[in-house]
Amino acid sequence: MSKLGFIGLGIMGAPMAAHLIKAGHEVFLSTRSKVPADLLTGKAVACASAQEVAEKADIIFMMLPDTPDVAKVLFGDKGVSAGLSKGKTVVDMSSISPMDTKDFAKKINALGCDYLDAPVSGGEVGAKAASLTIMIGGPDAAFERVKPLFELMGKNITLVGGNGDGQTCKVANQIIVALNIAAVGEALLFASKAGADPAKVRQALMGGFAASRILEVHGERMIKRTFNPGFRIGLHQKDLGLALAGARSLGVALPQTASAAQLMQVCSANGMQDLDHSALVRALELMAGHEVAKA
């Protein structure tokens, strides 16, 4: 069994780390607050810092909120880089800037270690069910070495290309997800305002070409008003910000992405940044003065 590290034990990180622990690996854990007691089973060990995790583990996973968080954990005081020795592998499963990821990879490579960017899609449900989609950027040999561990956390596992390409793929994913949430929100709002039962409209649409996971899962959330976070609006805003910043640097126009980002900004401006991203429909409802359904 491998000696693994896992840094970042939030909504996504905790169940992902739990799968590694359950498989019998020795896992060294670190997070901003106290390591959850329910993870300290089997061979799991709580560590005082990211540096300690890197000193004890051969493969170090990170699942953190944003680019500055990853930079701090990697290169800040008592960070991962201070605990690395040659031959180790760092795997960042956060969703962060592709350009910064390339820079991080170069710095870790200079220490004689491999770096994989491996952002995920599937939310809390996928993390708990070990059914995440994992998009990886990095060298082939490192990918093959870590792949059996990815398989403990996800189902659709793809090496997209070199460092940064995994993060680029994740940004593309977040564009598609955001636009689909907006489309489902608009459709259900239209149906409800017109007097149709949105639950029955959704049921009918699930049998046609409009069927999608977003309509299935988030459409139900919109109707049942269950906006407890699987993936927070604030985090999706961050991802769309990465998309728009990348588009500016590439000279590409992403008008629909910009529109979805503005809808999420409406939600954040009204104190809803910690709700699930399906609550994007609330921005549409505020403009319409009508809710898809009552709680």
- In this predicted structure, the answer to whether residue 1 has a pLDDT above a threshold of 80 is no
pLDDT at position 201 over 90: yes
pLDDT tier for residue 239 given thresholds of 50, 70 and 90: very high
Residues belonging to the active site: 170
Listed in sequence order, the residues at least 6 apart from 59 whose beta carbon sits closer than 8 Å to its beta carbon are 2, 3, 4, 5, 88, 89, 91, 145, 146, 149
Residue 48 tokens, joined = 């005082």
Would you state the pLDDT for residue 219? 98
pLDDT of 258 over the 80 cut:
yes
Q: What residues have CB less than 8 Å from 90, skipping those under 6 apart?
A: 54, 60, 62, 74, 80, 84, 108, 113, 114, 115, 116
Q: Is the pLDDT of residue 123 over 90?
A: no
Say if strands 132-137 and 154-161 run parallel, antiparallel, or are unpaired: parallel
pLDDT score of 244: 97
Non-local (6+) Cβ contacts of 33 within 8 A are none
- Distance from the Cα of residue 25 to its chain's centroid: 23
pLDDT for res 230: 84
Per-residue model confidence as pLDDT tens digits over 39-98: 999 999 999 999 999 999 999 999 999 999 999 999 999 999 999 999 999 999 999 999
Amino acid at 48: A
At 120 the pLDDT is: 96
Q: Measured between alpha carbons, how far is 63 from 61 in angstroms, rounded to an integer?
A: 7
d(C-alpha 181, C-alpha 277), whole Å? 8
Contact assessment for residue 6 and residue 35, using Cβ atoms and an 8 Å cutoff: no
Q: Examine the pLDDT at 262 and tell me if it is beyond 80.
A: yes
At position 245, the amino acid (one-letter code) is: A
Question: Between 231 and 282, where is the model more confident?
Answer: 282
**Residue 220 — pLDDT band, cuts 50, 70, 90?**
very high
Task: Tell me how far apart the alpha carbons of residues 192 and 185 are, in angstroms, rounded to a whole number.
Answer: 10
State the chain's mean pLDDT as an integer.
Answer: 97
128-155 residue pLDDT tens:
999 999 999 999 999 999 999 999 999 9
- The pLDDT of residue 2 is 87
What is the identity of the amino acid at 111?
L
Residues of the chain with pLDDT > 70, as a percent, come to 100
Q: What is the mean pLDDT of residues 222-226?
A: 98
- pTM of the predicted protein model: 0.91
